[in-house]
Amino acid sequence: MVACLSCTSDALPNRNPLPSSRIQFGSLEAHISLQKCTTFKQLKQIHAKIVRNGLSQDQLLTRRLLHLCSSYRKMDYATLLFLQIKGPLTFTWNLMIRAYTINGCSQQALLLFNLMISQGFLPDKFTFPFVIKACSASSVIGPGKVIHGLAIKTGSFGDMFVLNTLMDLYFKCRNVEYGCKIFENMRVRNVVSWTTMVSGLVACGEVNAARGLFEQMPTKNVVSWTAMINGYVRNRPEEAFELFQRMQIDNVRPNEFTLISLLKACTEIGSLKMGRWIHDFALKNEFKLGIFLGTAFIDMYSKCGSLEDARRVFDEMQIKSLVTWNSMITSLGVHGCGHEAIGLFAEMERANVRPDAITYVGVLCACVQTDNLEEARGYFKCMVEHYGITPVLEHLTCMIELYRRADMLDEVCELVNTMPAEPNDNILSALLRESEVYGIANMEKKIQRHAGKLEYWDTCPPPLYMGLGFSSGSSCA
């Protein structure tokens, strides 16, 4: 029996204890995994590992997770992560407030700041710029003034970054007096301070004051020049080009936003020649036809009367945004190319670009151009039922025009009564106005009296066709 045991013992493999056989996953391994993370799905898998290995209270790891969630625009998931932290540090609060702000959740950023204060966490000089930017995004001056006072109380008011963002907030809320006071009382100013002041004055219509300040700037960068050029675009577009010439003499290289401002000036004066000159300048200086610049060229060429050039730019663009597609579709519709506009919309769908309400304004306008009621009805139904887009006044305008041409006036009433959401008072007021234009009798009685629908019809909105590029009884041309 002993020999048997001896034999058995020698035959057994030498096994390590179970704990040492497990693959280690500590903070270092987690950080390396997060550095390699490229998708939200991978992020959730790594997060699960972090939780299983008891690392969920490591705030360095959590901050990295929050940063990735923000870059993937997964703020619901980021919120869950943040709420699980016990005693988040100020840096972590700042990161979460910033994530909300840059992802268009300014209200949540302000609520989180209030929660931070109520729980006794003191903000620092890095907290205030993020919160102030959230106020700017919401255009709320009240909370901004409270934060201004809190910055003074906590000793962060002397920070230049805080002052610059506060100045920007006041100008965006059109409080010129407060914006100017902050600038005047700044002990030290950098080029951002001067540019914020110039941009703010321009935005508030104080172009002459902005020019005077611009000439006093000790140092001007491309943003400063572009801000001042942009100030002349609407009211004095010729001066925008004069300033651009000075910019070149001073050897300041423009950026794409400088050219976009100049293209708007071309549109204002209707100069196709100047628009083509800017296009040549962009090509010679190796500007890429990105989304913003390319779309600006399409808009300029279309409004200055060269649809061929607009389409050429569109075809050359390698990356197109929804705004780019909308601009080209609308341009084709306005210039009487209804079939081409509808064809381009089909191409847009094949490219898996999700349309919005503006897209369908262009598409339905194109249907009016081609006098194609059946196609318009199909697009209208798809817009509402497939994409869940609530019809606006411009959509109904096109449908009413097509139904009128087909002498199907009762369909107008049915259209309103079967809408998935109750139309607002302006739309219903406009429909009554149209009934008078077209001589439709008893329109008010034909439309069902849903709660709130017919209460404010005494208010008269702007003409139904305003902004669509065609007048009552005509096509889109």
Domain boundary among 319, 344, 376: 319
Give how far Cα 27 sits from Cα of 23, 56, 69, 93, 428, Å. 13, 10, 19, 21, 61
Asked whether residue 26 is domain-assigned, the answer is no
Are 419 and 303 in a shared domain? no
Average the pLDDT over each of 121-125, 166-170, 211-215, 451-455 and give the range with the smallest value: 451-455
Are 83 and 144 in a shared domain? yes
Residue 469 has pLDDT above 70, yes or no: no
Are 474 and 348 in a shared domain? yes
Residue 467 has pLDDT above 80, yes or no: no
For 384-407, write each residue's pLDDT tens digit.
999 999 888 888 888 888 988 888
What is the average pLDDT across 356-383? 93
The pLDDT, as a whole number, for residue 22 is 54
Residue 458 has pLDDT above 80, yes or no: no
Are 289 and 339 in a shared domain? no
Q: State the average pLDDT for the chain.
A: 84
Domain boundary among 292, 319, 346: 319
The pLDDT, as a whole number, for residue 446 is 52
Asked whether residue 7 is domain-assigned, the answer is no
Are 274 and 167 in a shared domain? no
Asked whether residue 105 is domain-assigned, the answer is yes
Residue 235 has pLDDT above 90, yes or no: no
The pLDDT, as a whole number, for residue 11 is 43
The pLDDT, as a whole number, for residue 400 is 84
Are 257 and 162 in a shared domain? no
Are 438 and 411 in a shared domain? yes
The pLDDT, as a whole number, for residue 428 is 57
The pLDDT, as a whole number, for residue 174 is 92
Are 131 and 222 in a shared domain? no
Asked whether residue 420 is domain-assigned, the answer is yes
Residue 12 has pLDDT above 70, yes or no: no
Domain harbouring 274, CATH code: 1.25.40
Domain that holds residue 150: 51-188
For 266-299, write each residue's pLDDT tens digit.
999 999 999 999 999 999 999 999 999 999 999 9
Residue 122 has pLDDT above 80, yes or no: yes
The pLDDT, as a whole number, for residue 434 is 54
The segment with the largest mean pLDDT, out of 47-56, 218-227, 384-393, is 218-227
User: Is the full-model pTM beyond 0.85?
Assistant: no
For 54-97, write each residue's pLDDT tens digit.
888 888 999 999 999 999 999 999 999 999 888 899 999 999 99
What is the average pLDDT across 170-189? 93
Q: Report residue 140's pLDDT band, with 50, 70 and 90 as the boundaries.
A: confident
Percent of the chain, pLDDT > 70? Answer: 82
Are 355 and 407 in a shared domain? yes
Asked whether residue 256 is domain-assigned, the answer is yes
Of residues 408 and 280, the one with the higher pLDDT is: 280
What is the average pLDDT across 414-432? 59
Are 352 and 476 in a shared domain? yes
Are 268 and 399 in a shared domain? no
Asked whether residue 46 is domain-assigned, the answer is no
Domain boundary among 303, 319, 335: 319
Domain harbouring 133, CATH code: 1.25.40.10
In this structure, what token pair is assigned to residue 276? Answer: 């083509």
Asked whether residue 210 is domain-assigned, the answer is no
What is the average pLDDT across 425-448? 54
Are 148 and 107 in a shared domain? yes
Asked whether residue 297 is domain-assigned, the answer is yes
Of residues 476 and 306, the one with the higher pLDDT is: 306
Residue 337 has pLDDT above 80, yes or no: yes
Number of domains in the chain: 3
The pLDDT, as a whole number, for residue 183 is 95
Residue 454 has pLDDT above 50, yes or no: no
